Chains A and B, each alone.
Chain A
Amino acid sequence: MRVALVGNPNVGKTAILNALTGGNFTVGNFPGVTVEKKEGKTKIDGMEVSFIDLPGMYSLEAASIDEKIAVEYLSRERPNLILNILNSANFERNLYLTLQLSRFDIPIIVVLNMMDKAKKSGIKINSKKLSEILGVPVVETVAVKNIGIEKLKREILIGGSLLKVRPKNLDESINEAGKIAKLVVQRIKPKKSLDDALDEVFMDKHLGIPIFLSFMWMLFTFTYSVADPITGALDEFFGASSEYVANLGGWFFSLLGSGIIAGVGSVLVFVPNIAFLFIALSILELSGYMPRAVYLLDNIMSKFGLSGRAIIPMILGFGCNVPAIMATRAIEDNRIRIATVLVNPFMSCSARLPIYILFAGVFFPGSGGTIVMLIYLIGVLIAFISALVFRKTLLKGEAEFIMELPPYMLPNLRDVWRSTWSRTRHFLEKAGTVILLMSVVVWFITQYPGGSLEKSYAAVIGKMLTPIFSPLGWNWELIVALISGFVAKEIVVATIGILNINLAEAISPFSALAFMLFTLLYMPCLATIATIRAEVGTKWAIFIVFYSFFIAYLVAFAAVVVGSWF
């Protein structure tokens, strides 16, 4: 049995999927988390049921790519049952889509999710009466608390029914939804609303931005300072292990100690920082604060030719640019979408964090957190400026802002864990595959053919490129590290570990800052380039490789020049 989960964005479809299947899919508290269909399987009373979580859509008149995916799935694949998830706190607006679904002639179960939020907002829905009017089963749920899920499972086994109300077009759906809402919704005076109280301050036109910057500072302090002892302990462990194994003698132990353990270990050292960053980001996302930050920044965003919807991919870019670029599918305007894709690599992904922490720790020990935050802010600034340039030249057009503000929620530990783990796991998987392989490659090119670093392939490559980078004050070893980072940014740190570079002696603090800025901005990693190519085409993928390299060189050079004045 195939069951499709259909509904507006941010109504809790993925939360329902997790509750039904015991799955581990990442949920968010902002629209556009699901931009491609996800599938989860479970057995209900012995019957195998496949659930397909479709991207959120407001109506069947699909405009964005993710909405088109959902509509096409329903038309072509024709699932056996549709679970239509509604946000009960926004019942009437969600009901348009329900009525439009009648056109598919597929049995439906209406799920009134977030009933707790609706009650708090003073909305009472008579689900029995709604079921009579629509002619389909109606189940009340609070998915994040597993409320109503057993009843929903029983209804799934029964198989739902066809909708009785069948409007012919969108206008008729809107009218009909209004009439039904009047019949089944009762409004009672709500308790003093916490959401309103929080919004009054978080979105205050004078205080909103300082509050946002305060949260950003807290996020970086948590990432940098609180994770410090664990990072330190891991560093000592991998350092000692690498040295011990390498000293056993012979090429195999050299490969294992100086290559694999030094390379992979120097990346794994930063797993605590990355996990802490994701914990903080998950809390901000799940609490519902992030979209408010988006709203606050909209004035600024629109000045740079981007829409409010562009900020979600930009925030996701702090984790990994690959899913972030895929999240641009929710942007309807193609030119804004391309601009958002092109600037996304400037949002500093977690793979670059180890580089900043390593360099900040060596060169700016007293103000590491501040430097890391500064690097992130420069990335955002360059992304905005680039977006403005693109929108004024290559991708001209108007920007619109449509953004739905989700309710505030106390993030639940399970969701914070899921979100953190799914992103950290991605990092660990890379450590066990790409980084491991590249560590072997880097070890090989640093050992052969001459038997010493000075006579190795790496030295030949690095020295050949030295004239290009010499104005920035970097030696050939650092240039080799940068080249290896083209595969995946974490490999920069792995290569520094394998080459055993003494950073404090190799470069000046301003050259180190230039190096951090260069790694922030220079060409995206291979996976990101492949995703850009898949999403917007080869031409743009090639363009961003050259553009980002040019910008990175320019900014790094500026940092060295400014540094020389002091």
Chain B
Amino acid sequence: MVLAILLTIYFAALSVLEFKSSVLNSFVLATITVIYLKGAIKRRDSYVLVASLIASCFSILMVLVYLAKGELSYSILGIATAPILYIKLREYV
């Protein structure tokens, strides 16, 4: 569960940094933070899986937004969770 705690801190920081440029992007990052946090508290892998899934999807979307409009967002850094998502998914599929 160390991983879940580290990711909680990482996404909390991203959420704070994003707040000035987009409140709703920051809201999504805060939601991801809380999912990781709950995963850490409950010691459940499923929370890490879903938070990583949302974070990866959101970062891909933000890459598309960057390509379309040239707007950079801290949310792109959520792509760091893609390997975690891959590892967690392999446990199920």
Residues of chain A whose beta carbon lies under 8 Å from any beta carbon of chain B: 191-194, 196-198, 200-202, 204, 206-207, 210-211, 213-214, 217-218, 221-222, 225-229, 369-370, 373
The residues of B that contact A193 with a CB separation of less than 8 Å are 92
A214-B69 in contact (CB<8A): no
Q: A194 to B45: give the CA distance in the assembly, Å.
A: 11
Task: Give the distance in Å from the alpha carbon of A91 to the alpha carbon of B34 in the complex.
Answer: 38
Residues B35 and A213 in contact, CB atoms below 8 Å apart: no
> Could you tell me the distance in whole angstroms from the C-beta of B90 to the nearest C-beta in chain A?
11
New A-B pairs, 20, CB < 8 Å, besides A198-B49, A201-B47, A201-B50: A192-B92, A194-B89, A197-B92, A198-B46, A201-B35, A201-B46, A201-B49, A202-B50, A207-B31, A207-B38, A211-B31, A217-B28, A218-B61, A222-B64, A225-B71, A226-B64, A227-B68, A229-B68, A229-B69, A369-B24
Structural contact, B65 and A226, CB atoms closer than 8 A: yes
What does the 1/0 interface line of B2-13 toward A look like (CB < 8 Å)?
A: 000000000000
Given contacts A191-B92, A207-B38, A211-B31, contact A228 B69 (CB under 8 A): yes
A226 and B68 form a contact (CB under 8 A): yes
Q: Using a CB-CB cutoff of 8 Å, which residues 7-54 of chain B contact chain A?
A: 23-25, 27-28, 31-32, 34-35, 38, 44-47, 49-51, 54
Q: Does B87 contact A (CB under 8 A)?
A: no
Shortest CB-to-CB span from A377 to chain B, Å, is: 12
23 contacts between A and B (CB under 8 A): A192-B92, A193-B92, A194-B92, A194-B93, A196-B46, A197-B50, A201-B47, A201-B49, A202-B50, A207-B35, A207-B38, A210-B31, A211-B50, A214-B27, A214-B54, A217-B24, A217-B25, A218-B58, A221-B65, A226-B61, A228-B69, A229-B68, A369-B24
List the 6 closest pairs (A to B, CB-CB), nearest first.
A197-B46, A194-B92, A201-B50, A214-B28, A210-B31, A200-B46
Is residue B84 contacting chain A, with contact meaning CB distance below 8 A?
no
A200 proximity list for chain B (CB < 8 A):
44, 46-47
In the complex, residue of chain B having the shortest beta-carbon distance to the beta carbon of A215: B54
Is B57 part of the binding interface, using a Cβ–Cβ cutoff of 8 Å?
yes
Residue from the list A198, A227, A369 in contact with B50, Cβ < 8 A: A198
Given contacts A198-B50, A201-B47, A210-B34, contact A218 B65 (CB under 8 A): no
Chain A residues with CB below 8 A from B61, complex form: 218, 221-222, 226
Give B82 Cβ to nearest chain A Cβ, in Å. 16
The CA of A8 and the CA of B14, in the complex, are separated in Å by: 46
Contacts of A202 in B (CB 8 A): 50
* Chain B interface bracket (under 10, 10 to 19, 20 to 34, 35 or more): 20 to 34
Given contacts A207-B35, A210-B31, A214-B54, whether A225 and B69 have CB atoms under 8 Å apart is yes
Residues of A within 8 A of B38 (CB): 204, 206-207
Report A-chain residues with C-beta under 8 Å of the C-beta of B89: 194
Across the interface, which residues of A come within 8 angstroms of B69, CB to CB?
225, 228-229
Min distance, Cβ A450 to any Cβ of chain B, angstroms: 44
Query: From DSSP, what is the main secondary structure of chain B's interface residues?
Result: helix
Cβ distance A361 to chain B, nearest Cβ, rounded Å: 12
Chain A residues whose C-beta falls within 8 Å of the C-beta of B49 in the assembled complex: 197-198, 201
Q: Which A residues are in CB contact (< 8 Å) with B51?
A: 201
CA distance A197 to B71 in the complex (A): 34
**Which residues in B have their C-beta under 8 angstroms from that of A204?**
38
What residues of chain A lie closer than 8 Å to B57, measured between beta carbons?
218
Residues of A within 8 A of B92 (CB): 191-194, 197
Is there contact, CB below 8 Å, between B27 and A197?
A: no
Instruction: Looking at the assembled complex, report how far the CB atom of A251 sits from the nearest CB atom of chain B, in whole angstroms.
Output: 40
Query: CB-CB < 8 A to A222: which residues of B?
Result: 61, 64
Shortest Cβ gap from B22 to chain A (Å): 8
Do B50 and A225 touch (CB < 8 A)? no
Residues on B with C-beta less than 8 A from A229 are: 68-69
Known contacts A198-B46, A217-B27: A211-B68 contact under CB 8 Å: no
- Residues in A whose Cβ lies below 8 Å from that of B44: 200
What CA separation (Å) do A214 and B58 show in the bound complex?
Answer: 9
In the assembled complex, how far is the CB of residue A552 from the closest CB belonging to chain B, in whole angstroms? 26
What residues of B have a CB within 8 angstroms of the CB of A197 in the complex? 45-46, 49-50, 92
CA distance A352 to B57 in the complex (A): 27
Question: Which chain B residues border A227 with CB–CB below 8 Å?
Answer: 68
Q: How far is the CB of A288 from chain B (nearest CB, A)?
A: 14
Out of B54, B68, B91, which one reaches A192, CB within 8 Å? Answer: B91
Chain B hits for A214, CB < 8 A: 27-28, 31-32, 54, 58
Taking CB as reference atom, which chain B residue is nearest A217?
Answer: B24
| A358 CB to nearest B CB, Å | 17
Alpha-carbon distance between A88 and B53 when the two chains are bound, in angstroms: 28
Chain B nearest CB, measured from A235 CB (Å): 15
